[in-house]
Amino acid sequence: MADCSGAQKTLRMIFGFLYGPSGAGRSLRSPGLPQWWRPAVAGLVVALLLALSFSPVLAVEPSEVLDDPVLEVRAREISKGLRCVVCQNQSIDDSNADLARDMRVLVRERLLAGDSNDQVTDYMVSRYGDFVLLNPPFKVATYALWFGPLLIIGLGLFVVVVFYRRRSSTSVAETTPAALSNEESRRLEDLMKDET
């Protein structure tokens, strides 16, 4: 079975070139360069690749494409949302794995048989679970996922507000201390007399 190709191999190539013991990486090094140049160059290369990768790279083979352009568009739309269970960070639309190919073909067969987009997706979920969806669905089991970040931001804001409230109230206390009671001022006077 074909393994995951494409992006993963490309990344290995780049990092091999930068971090590998031999090849072009070594000739780039010169004693004058500061320590941070390697991560910096790696970052630049990755950024460049990301920018380039937005041009669509298709794993869909010509033989798979449906004659009906409307159905084909729907098939592509569905495929983009389905995870390749072999190369787990790619959609079946992007993946070259054999199983992803068979899943794409199955998506098209079901569309030809008259299934709606949701029926096709539901079939895949019934076989592989929510895991096969690249977008996690909104339901009770995923509330923590969807609301968690909001909750943490809320908690953070609350802590910040409490912190600043406290600080401003203590600073007011420092500048205008409570007035002395009669007892206290009498004692203070006594002390002052003793000094002189």
Partner 1 sequence: MNRLMYLLPLAIFLVIAGYFAKGLTLNPRDMPSMLIDQEVPPFDLKPIKGQVRGLSSEDLKGQVTLVNIFGSWCVACLAEHPMLMKIAEQKLVSIYGIDWREKNPDDGPNWLARRGDPYTLIGDDPQSKAAIAFGVTGAPETFFVDRRGFIRYKHVGPITPENWESTLWPIVQELRKL
* Interacting residues toward partner 1 by CB under 8 A: 1, 85-86, 88, 98-99, 102-103, 105-106, 125-129, 131, 159
Contact (CB, 8 A) for 100 and 60: no
Burial (CB < 10 A; 0-12, 13-18, 19+), residue 100, is buried
What are the phi and psi torsion angles at 10 (to 5°)?
-60, -45
Contacting residues for 126 by C-beta, under 8 A, at least 6 apart: none
- Both tokens of 77, joined, read 């739309």
CB of 89 to partner 1, least distance (A): 10
CB of 149 to partner 1, least distance (A): 13
Choice between 76 and 104, CB closer to partner 1: 104
d(CA 26, CA 159): 50
CB of 124 to partner 1, least distance (A): 8
Choice between 14 and 134, CB closer to partner 1: 134
Choice between 119 and 185, CB closer to partner 1: 119
Which stretch of DSSP H or E encloses residue 149?
A: helix 143-175
Choice between 23 and 129, CB closer to partner 1: 129
- Both tokens of 9, joined, read 């191999």
CB of 98 to partner 1, least distance (A): 6
